[in-house]
């Protein structure tokens, strides 16, 4: 007998750290370092407007004559964000992330960011599922 596919809410990180689009990349990088994270949803007036990853910051840092303390988050963030609901089946979310090579999915409910599901969360889910379902 097979078990139902878990929902993404079981494995997502709840209440993720977020940044505003008017923060500098240096300020956003400090948030990432402080909390040991690689993805930050970007919110304006509590609405999701983008996603900033550590890769976005590293790209800007490699540009000659560009000062990350002067570049705003909104100038480096990705505006097209993969958004799912907490009730999204885990297999569908990870399939889409793998197919499109997304590092994360933002979890929204009623227009509000309630979580983030990252590759690390997916690995933790895989580990749990392998140790509980296949033993």
Show the domain range for 115. Answer: 8-133
CATH code: domain of residue 55: 3.10.580.10
For the chain, give percent helix, strand, coil, nearest 5: 40, 25, 35
Over residues 69-79, the pLDDT tens digits come to 999 999 999 99
Structural domain count of the chain: 1
Domain-located, residue 48 = yes
Beta strand segments in the chain, E: 13-14, 39-44, 47-53, 83-84, 104-109, 112-118
Q: What is the DSSP letter of 6?
A: P
CA distance 132 to 50: 36
With H, G, I as helix, E, B as strand and everything else as coil, classify residue 44.
strand
- For the chain, 135 residues long, give each residue's pLDDT as a single digit of tens: 578 899 999 999 999 999 999 999 999 999 999 999 999 999 999 999 999 999 999 999 898 899 989 999 999 999 999 999 999 999 999 999 999 999 999 999 999 999 999 999 999 999 998 898 766
Q: Which pTM does this prediction carry?
A: 0.91
Domain-located, residue 3 = no
């Amino acid at each position: 007998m097979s078990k139902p596919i878990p929902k993404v809410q079981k494995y997502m990180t709840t209440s993720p750290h977020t940044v505003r689009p008017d923060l500098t990349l240096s300020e956003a990088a400090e948030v990432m370092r402080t909390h040991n994270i690689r993805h930050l949803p970007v919110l304006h007036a509590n609405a999701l407007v983008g996603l900033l990853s550590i890769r976005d910051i590293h790209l800007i840092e490699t540009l000659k004559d560009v000062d990350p303390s002067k570049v705003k988050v909104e100038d480096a963030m990705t505006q097209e964000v993969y958004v799912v609901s907490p009730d999204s089946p885990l297999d569908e979310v990870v399939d889409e992330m793998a197919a499109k090579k997304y590092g994360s999915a933002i979890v929204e409910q009623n227009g509000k960011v309630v979580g983030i599901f990252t590759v690390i969360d997916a690995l933790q889910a895989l580990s749990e599922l392998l140790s509980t379902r296949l033993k």
